[in-house]
Each structure stands twice: as structure tokens, then as C-alpha cells.
Structure 1
Amino acid sequence: MATYTMIIGIRLVLIALRKKIVRKKIKNTGLLGFSGGLFDAFGGGGWGPIVTSTLLAKGRKSSYVVGTVSLAEFFVTLAASATFFASLGVSHWYIVVGLIFGGSIAAPLAARLAGKLPQKTAILAVAFLVIVFSIRMLFKIF
């Protein structure tokens, strides 16, 4: 997954450096959502890097992408967490409640801030973060 996100990060930099960002039709959104959700639930992360970077690479506006992905990620995380806690139980419930409240506050703020950024700046910021975290994951592997 780190290699995939690294490639997407580099692609985002190239897209941001173009004079005009071309909006392409997104095909197989169900497969994109399934892949992002699977990696998020199975590997402990993946929804944000996979779905956000793919939608931005297809030319979608950053405010639309961040808001949509944040809302969908809430439901993906809720489903994965409910399954996890139903299987293992919750011994540190106060940590879970804190994460839920923090995420509920942070997601709309992130969407609002992303809407204020120029499109190219937002794409470069996402590309930078995706590349940095991909390099970090690759260094942990090797």
C-alpha cells in the first residue's frame, strides 16, 4: 500500500503543476470505496490516502473531496469499530468516546478549511502528506 500511495502522491504533484487541472470521469467508485474501506479496517489505515488522493487525482475540488471522504470515513470507522468492540469488548471506553468527539469536531473543520485553500495548494499539501507517510511506512518495512 505504501508503494501505491507514493505513486499517487507523485502523480498528485504532477497534476498540481499543470496549468489547468482536468476533471476526469470517475469509474468504479464502488471498487474505490471497497478498497479504501478494506485497507482501513484490515490494515488500520488507508481510507484517507487511497480515496482522497484518487479523487483529487481525477480533478475533483478539494473541498468536495475532503468533506465527502471525511463523512464516509466516519461510517467506515464506525462499522469497523463496532465489529471490533463487539468481538473484544471495550475496556477503555473513555478513550473511544474522546476519539469519537474529537473526530466529530475535526472533520467539519477540516472540510471548511480545505474549502478555503486554492485547489493547487490543497493538492500539493495532500501530495506532500501522502509522500511523507508513504516514505515513513517504507522505512518501517525495511
Structure 2
Amino acid sequence: MRALILLGLVGFAAQLVDGSLGMAYGVTSTTLLLAIGTNAAAASATVHLAEIGTTLASGLSHWRFNNIDWKVVAKIGIPGAVGAFAGATFLSNLSTELAAPVMSIILLTLGAYILIRFTAFGLPRGNLGKPLRKRFLAPLGLLAGFVDATGGGGWGPVGTPAILASGRIPPRKVIGSIDASEFLVAIAASVGFFVGIGSENIDFAWVAVLLVGGVIAAPIAAWLVRHIPPRILGSLVGGLIILTNVRTLLRSDWIDASGQVQTVSYIAIAIIWAGAVVYSVREYRRDKATESVEAIESELQRRSAEEEKTSA
């Protein structure tokens, strides 16, 4: 019972992050399932089954808050579904001993990408209003869908930063569109896992509690995306994913690190992680201060222009 409550809380927290940042539900949930010894393919299948419900709830919530560009959803979601089915089939055919470390490496890479991307660069805002072309979104969706199914997460970490980097649509619409299109990816991946491993290795109670937690968090996240600093949240989530998957790899048969090596590694990661969060907070505050100064200067210029017109 305690494990189910914990999974429900994880589902809630993961969806809160995913709906606010456009990524990390699958990566966070799968990382936990791997950490407690779940088979890699079963872990990804469990998360994707839960995501059918959470992504539907998230998409509806983002739609209500006008956070979705439906053209982007169509152009990236269908190729993403194709990639996800292929990725699920690929992972289902890997041996358990090989799949767990491979998945941890994928998750570790995605965690590092999230940490570096949001800590160092924040959110780009140039090129707003320019169209996103199908020749860009289709290959991106195919890749992101494949990574998502094989890694137990990756749709957001691959898709969200790539579209954000283009700077062509507002960040809240990037996040809403990625969350809405993930519904198609979750369905395709789930079908792929049912074909590959069947249902006997999937604990549907775990699916249910992850789903309930995520559905409760979805509308809250859709509201938070307008208010929460993505830069800081990205640094927090990226570090957590790195720490957890480094732990899995160090304890795997591939490395089998000593206790001393593990301890030193955890301390080093924790120091880097803390530094990244502090830097993100500082940069966020600096950006807000700059925006405030620019707003004040703009208002003063407007008033000065009005006074000149009045005196003339």
C-alpha cells in the first residue's frame, strides 16, 4: 500500500513538472520504477499506459487555457506515434540485463540535457510568430517518439527544447502543444509494448495510481505554466534525473562500483546540481530585474512623448 501511495505522489509530481515544463513525466516516473527494480520494458509500458490518461487530461487543460497550437500537434504528433511504436518494439526485444543499463544511459543523457539547457540558456524568445515547418517537425517527432519509448521518457526533453530553440511560438504554447501531441505517442507506444511483451509483466495497479496522480496534477500544471520559472524548474528536475540514473548505472553489472566510488560520485553530482540551481535562480532574478528596468524606461519614454505632444 505504501508503494502505491508513493507512486501516486510521483505521478502527481511528475505531471506537475511535465505540464509546467513540457517534459519529464516519463523520465521521472520511469527512473523511479527502474530504481526499485522494475523490468525496463515493463517500466516504460507502465508509464506509457498511464500517460494515455495523463496526456489527455493535460491536453484538455492546456486547451482550456489556450496553450495549444493545433498545427504543431498534427505535424509532430503523427510522426511521433510512428517513432514510439518502433521504439517500443525495439526495447521489447532487448534482454533484461541489457535493457536496464541502456535505458539508464538514455535517461541520464536526457537529464544532463535538461540541466544544461535550462541552467545555461533559459528560454529563447526570438523569431516569435514565424511558422514551424513540417520538414522540421516530422523528423523531430519521429526521433522524439523513438527515444521516448526506448527510454521510458524523452518526448518532452527532445521535442520541447528543439521547438523552444526555434523561438517561433510562445513557450506556453510549445509546452501545451507537446503535452497534447504526447497523447498520440502514448497510445502508439502502449500498443507496441502489448505486441512486444504482452500484458503479463505490467502491474495495472501501478498504472492506475500513476494515472490518478497525473490527472489530478494536470489542470494545476496548465495554470502554473503561466507563472512558474521554467529555468529554475528545469535545473531542479535535470539534476534529480542525473543523480538517480547515475546510481542505477554505478550499481549495474556493467560498472559495479565500490561504495566509496558511489559516495564520491553522489557528492560531486549534488555539488554541481546545487550550483546549477543557484545559478538559475540568480539568472532568473537578473532577467526579471532587467525586464522591470526596461518596462520603467519604456513607460517614462511614453509619458515624455505624451508631454511633448501636449506642450506642442
TM score, norm. by length of structure 1:
0.69
What SS class does the counterpart of residue 153 from structure 2 fall into? Answer: coil
**Match 1:89 to one of 199, 202, 212:** 199
In the aligned structure 2, how far is the partner of 1:9 from the partner of 1:83? 30
Change (3 A) 1:65 1:128: farther
**Structure 1 residue 114, shift from structure 2 partner:** 0.7
In the aligned structure 2, how far is the partner of 1:7 from the partner of 1:98? 29
- 1:65 maps to 2:174: yes
Specify every segment of 5 or more residues in structure 2 that has no aligned partner in the other structure, as ranges: 1-105, 251-312
**Structure 1 residue 72, shift from structure 2 partner:** 1.6
Give the partner amino acid of 2:137.
Answer: T
In the aligned structure 2, how far is the partner of 1:15 from the partner of 1:23? 16
**Match 2:214 to one of 85, 100, 103:** 103
**Match 1:30 to one of 113, 119, 138:** 138
Per the alignment, residue 54 of structure 1 pairs with 162
**1:25-76 CA-partner distances (Å, limit 9, x unpaired):** 6561112111111011122111122222333333353321221121122221
- 1:40 maps to 2:148: yes
Give the partner amino acid of 1:66.
Answer: I
Structure 1 residues 7-26: aligned runs within 5 Å: 7=113, 9-16=115-122, 21-23=125-127
**Structure 1 residue 88, shift from structure 2 partner:** 0.6
Change (3 A) 1:49 1:55: same
Change (3 A) 1:98 1:140: closer
- 1:113 maps to 2:224: yes
- 1:125 maps to 2:238: no
Larger displacement relative to structure 2 (27-36 or 128-137): 128-137
**1:69-128 CA-partner distances (Å, limit 9, x unpaired):** 2112222112211332355136644443444454344334322211223xxx21332244
What SS class does the counterpart of residue 225 from structure 2 fall into? Answer: helix
What SS class does the counterpart of residue 226 from structure 2 fall into? Answer: helix
Q: Percent identity?
A: 31
Larger displacement relative to structure 2 (59-68 or 41-50): 59-68
Change (3 A) 1:7 1:96: closer
Per the alignment, residue 81 of structure 2 pairs with none
Q: In 2, are the aligned partners of 1:70 and 1:107 still within 8 Å (CA)?
A: no
Q: In 1, are the aligned partners of 2:118 and 2:230 still within 8 Å (CA)?
A: no
Q: In 1, are the aligned partners of 2:111 and 2:237 still within 8 Å (CA)?
A: no
In the aligned structure 2, how far is the partner of 1:42 from the partner of 1:58? 26
Change (3 A) 1:95 1:85: farther
What SS class does the counterpart of residue 140 from structure 1 fall into? Answer: helix
